[in-house]
Structures are given as C-alpha cells and as structure tokens.
Amino acid sequence: CGKRFNKLTHLNDHMRTHTGEKPYRCEECNRQFSALGNLKVHMRTHTGEKPYKCEHCNKGFSQLAHLNTHVRTHT
C-alpha cells in the first residue's frame, strides 16, 4: 500500500491489516487482535482499569481518546 513506518514492529502490525492475521488473543473472552497494544487496551474492559482521569471532575477512563472527548464537555 506504500505506507512507511519508522519501526519494524509498526510495519509488522500494519501488515496484519492486509493479511487479517490476529495473533493476540484475550484469555478472558477469546477476542483476537492484530496488535499487542490493542489487546492491552481491551484487557481494561475486564480489569476495570481506568488510568486516565479528568482533572475537572476526577472521572476515570480506560482510553485517552475517551478522556479527551469527555474533557470537552467541561468547556
């Protein structure tokens, strides 16, 4: 596809979008992922971990993007 990456691991992760390979499996629900980072984020749905906190109301979020969306509600 012509996409370029600075790190081989990023290229390998991207290549899986073309091959459909999903080598990372959640042991809790068997959902599969093409990138280890996506599995790690997914695991928070099982552990309840919410490492991102809103500085305005202290609400916790499992993903940074969700916190960023929430913060806009305070403006």
How many beta carbons lie within 10 A of that of residue 58, not counting itself?
Answer: 7
> If pLDDT is split at 50, 70 and 90, which confidence band does 19 have?
very high
pLDDT given at position 31: 98
Q: How far is CA 42 from the centre of its chain?
A: 6
Q: Look-up: residue for tokens 């906190």?
A: 53
Residue 11 contacts residue 5 (beta carbons within 8 Å)? yes
Structural domains in the chain?
Answer: 8-74 (3.30.160.60)
The confidence band for 17, taking pLDDT boundaries of 50, 70 and 90, is very high
Question: Which residues does 24 contact at the CB level (< 8 Å), separation at least 6?
Answer: 32, 33, 34, 35, 36, 38, 39
- Closest by alpha carbon to 51, among 67, 28, 37, 38? 67
